[in-house]
Structure 1
């Protein structure tokens, strides 16, 4: 839980709307027509759909027979493909006890698709719903028209149909890390515990902690896509599969300081008051003995990595701390007067010095929550106003052209923290489940990218002044969760 804080010191920041909880839902089917396909042979259409449903049910039953009894699912997933140029009505398809897992938008080359979870007990009712399409309503229209007319095919979901990224799904034979989202509506069993047992049996690597965000549980596992498909008929069937965001190494070289000027300024700095607000730097750590930062930091430096000290291995976190504390150094260096610091610093290292092949990676969402928890509980006897600064982003390249800004696990985690959701850190999981509390809201300043691939000359206007903001508007958005150089 965040510290109780004194009145805010940010009158220049105005948030004009209260936070509200948004329930994750599939994207709105933007492509395709809302009109219904005319099916001259309704009986043939029903038989085609039911044939696909029966094949999916038989294949699932056979797969579940091969699973351990404690891991067998009490239902199965199907893929419903829309008729080309038309849209499904997922809510009509998935009502009456079924669960809509996800919806894939139609593209120029593929129709819209919906993944639906069918509990075994609801299969007869779903079969009957499809069969009713052969009958007429009192008004002379096909029954269940909205649910059945635009459905072109029903079948088993392939691995790539759960992939929720814009980029193509990786090869099913590729060994890699995956981010799995679990919907608790699919089973009463503990999905993470089931996944852990299956991973241990099959020799898959898993991260130490899962993450609970709202009702959803998120876990990370290393295996092949083909092996992941064995989860579809267990109590660990994921609703979505995504590309994970892990902390990674960064290598930067800090600029040489002008030591004489810095020493003179350090002598003129006066420490902030004991109860002054702080800026908490979530980065590569901070050099605690830096002469310009030491008084403001006051030993408030930590690391989320048990095997790493909170010191700065790359220089980036120290640079961000200097900006947060002193801003533009030019005026301070040119002055001869004493400078009283109005706020202090905190640091929590969230970017490790190095990662070996033997290390289990950690999701950036998990690391961020632990960092916030560490900052807020380290000195709970000294409550203070706090602003977080997280200026680490993934380094986009021509073949990895930034982000489209879509919601992700890291962004959902930041939203929950900012809105005042309480956090609980356990050895095996992290939970962000309470309703937002405006009184406990957090201000988290997150970078959205960087001006990359430019020389200083590119940023200069005709009069020689720098036009950095103009290039910011034209630069790629980058995922905040991935650390990189700033």
Structure 2
């Protein structure tokens, strides 16, 4: 039966704006201990003075002038530390630098590192002394909430009080690349820090990242170097281990013949001057491949470092390009129809040819430079940025990093008011030998940095490929059945609930074959088809994992943007997610029951499911999609006092005649699905994510 298709309805009239007040929440399960004011205040005053003297003695032997000291505040196990009161915003002379938690006997201890200027020494002492004074007539004790929440304080440790990553990653004697997060976005602070690096002979990579109230620089340092930086600089906020990238490419040549290419080239219809591009940030792309030449011009092949060249030295970038340009390349080859190519490709090389490495670089900075280069080259285009490069480790577990934070920064347009659609991979299981522990390995391994970026469209993988035809793999079985989670993908099940549900959606990422005795194989039967970077050797190669899924998502986004050119980047992302549904296989695998908890777990494994191009582009007679693109200010600063409150909500009049709705049978069921897509301006520094410190 033919199903009539209709364009979605874009609501052109502005919605009604009304005041909104959020219902009161139940609050945190953590507690604030009751204390004896006299003894507790005396203890804290002594510890504060001891910490201050220790810090001053340390500074007395320095060659640089310091303007303040670092103090660390600590909670009781399982208790709440009122971090929002550990900062004085007006003068910026008391700055909350980072908030960390550690487990002790199954209970969480909170640590907060604070910078206190020399002329603000009395700030906390005055609060503690006021707390010690008994209130008159049974009144409320001053500062009780803050002071009771402080179990201990001390001079900040030179490294551990600033180290945000796992303790085992703290460098010892050997120098490693580390991120230094500064507690200011002032250029003069950065200049002063770079002078200190030069003075102390500490090597640093080029470039930096700027966030609101934060800047990030990568340095080659050991523990002693980090201690030196802490002692000599007033703007240290955090230390983190810099990231290394993963290599996803495998040499799996395809046996397809060159005449397939010639036949397809006769049927493609290339847009003369496309206004939409998929910009692939990768190893470069070989646009000499006959299938890529029509969609990737020489001037659109770029690099972040001219010494690296622009060509694809490996094959991964060219594999991404074939799918980003054609979607399902195998279907295009076997089809007899015309194939419209409405978008073009762009390539920015962000990974050099071995043995050169750029792991010492700040990946957020490299990503920012790559996107800027592409946008300067073709400012008239709508760019869909596609990056299937991720870190090798999974230590962030949803926590924002400098890389994911910069992607959020770029997507939101926080610095240039230019919103962007950035599509990234979820990352793959680290050890394919462990992938056969399916699906436990996939569920337990965390999505790789920068896949935790809130504003990015993060792509995981599922598979429909479960038929093995290769005779050499007789006796092998597919690890996953059709419609199930791909054995390559990772998830966010291990993340804390305060981090976003990732991946957002899953697309085809291929499957593994397994002999049942410990050996697995990435067979061509269970992979996608794409373009090989050396067409003189082979025109095609297989591609898989979340990289292939990410390239397919970029192609999908380009189709939506071409069909609805008025779409904002947020709207393209919304239509992809809105069109997604869970396959029966995914629900059978992971949906244990119909509870909210079960659906929450399903979201963290496979996002909102598998997107569908037809649903993303069209409404049907029994399925209407309404699209609104509007601005809203959900929060506002309180007119008196400090803090923020809820502000506006939007109400829409649906363009649906009431008589049509009333004419429907009374027992008919109507389902409504709402997808809200918006970009946040990031604040990735580790200062807690509650109240105004929320990311």
State whether TM-score is above 0.5: yes
State the match for 2:97 in structure 1. Answer: 101
Aligned-pair Cα RMSD in Å:
3.5
Does the 8 A contact of 1:191 with 1:235 survive in 2?
A: no
Kindly provide the CA deviation profile for residues 322-348 of structure 1, in whole angstroms up to 9, marking residues without a partner as x.
Answer: 101111122322245553422211111
Matches of 1:184 and 1:444, distance apart in 2? 27
SS at match of 1:208: coil
In the alignment, is residue 81 of structure 1 matched against residue 80 of structure 2? no
Is the 2:245–2:390 Cα contact (8 Å) retained in structure 1?
no
Q: CA deviation at 1:369?
A: 0.7
Q: What is the Cα deviation at residue 392 of structure 1?
A: 1.8
Residue of structure 1 aligned with 2:422, choices 420, 444, 456: 444
Q: Does the CA contact (< 8 Å) of 2:243 and 2:391 recur in 1?
A: no
**SS of residue paired to 1:100:** strand
Shift in Å at residue 150 of structure 1? 2.9
Q: What pairs with 1:190-229 in structure 2 (closer than 5 Å)?
A: 190-229=188-227
Q: Does 1:346 align with 2:346?
A: yes
CA distance in 2, matches of 1:144, 1:449: 46
Q: Does the residue aligned with 1:104 lie in a helix, a strand or coil?
A: strand
- Aligned pair in 2 of structure 1 residues 296, 264: CA closer, same or farther (>3 Å)? same
Give the Å deviation of 1:354. 2.2
What is the count of residue pairs matched by the alignment?
431
Do the aligned residues in 1 keep the contact of 2:425 with 2:546 (CA within 8 Å)?
no
The reply on whether 1:52 has 2:40 as its aligned counterpart is: no
Partner of 2:627: none
Alpha-carbon spacing, 1:100–1:325, altered in 2? closer, same or farther (3 Å): same
| Structure 1 Cα separation of the partners of residues 353 and 546 of structure 2 | 12
Distance 1:120 1:91 in 2: 21
Distance 1:476 1:360, change over 3 A: closer
Q: Residue 73 of structure 1: CA displacement? A: 2.6
> Relative to structure 1, is the Cα distance of residues 313 and 135 closer, same or farther in structure 2, using a 3 angstrom cutoff?
same
SS of alignment partner, residue 58 of structure 1: helix
Does residue 416 of structure 1 match 2:409?
yes
Shift of 1:374: 0.7
Deviation at 1:140, TM superposition (A): 5.1
Contact 2:74–2:112 under 8 Å retained in 1: yes
1:311-326 → structure 2 map (5 Å cutoff)? 311-326=311-326
Corresponding residue for residue 397 of structure 2:
404
Unpaired stretches in structure 1, ≥5 consecutive residues: 1-9, 15-29, 422-432
- The TM-score with structure 2 as length reference comes to 0.56
Q: Distance in 2 between matches of 1:282 and 1:474?
A: 21
Separation (CA, whole Å) in 2 of partners of 1:189 and 1:208:
15
Change in CA separation of 1:282 and 1:194 when aligned onto 2, cut-off 3 Å: same
Q: Aligned equivalents of 1:378 and 1:76: distance in 2?
A: 47
Q: Which residue of structure 2 aligns with residue 67 of structure 1?
A: 62
Quote how far apart the aligned CAs of 1:484 are: 10
Pairs within 5 Å for 1:139-150: 139=138, 142-150=141-149
Distance verdict in 2 for CA 1:474–1:312, change over 3 Å: closer
Q: Flag structure 2 segments of 5+ consecutive residues without an equivalent.
A: 1-6, 12-26, 440-462, 469-477, 493-501, 504-544, 549-695
> Any residues of structure 2 matched to 1:67-466 within 5 Å, and which?
67-69=62-64, 72-95=65-88, 98-109=94-105, 111-138=109-136, 139=138, 142-158=141-157, 159-165=159-165, 168-184=168-184, 190-246=188-244, 252-253=250-251, 255-256=253-254, 258-299=257-298, 300-336=300-336, 338-356=338-356, 361-380=360-379, 383-395=380-392, 400-401=393-394, 403-421=396-414, 433-434=415-416, 437=417, 440-450=418-428, 453=432, 454=435
How do residues 29-44 of structure 1 correspond to structure 2 at under 5 angstroms? 33-39=30-36, 42-44=37-39
84-93 vs 441-450, which moves further: 84-93
Find the residue that maps to 1:444 and give its secondary structure.
Answer: strand
TM-score, normalised on structure 1?
A: 0.78
Cα distance in 2, alignment partners of residues 13 and 106 from structure 1 = 49
**Cα–Cα, structure 1 residues 388 and 223, in superposed 2: closer, same or farther, change >3 Å?**
same
- Distance change in 2, residues 1:270/1:485 (3 Å): closer
Contact residue 206 and residue 360 of structure 1 kept, 8 A: no
| Conserved? CA contact 1:282–1:388, under 8 Å | yes
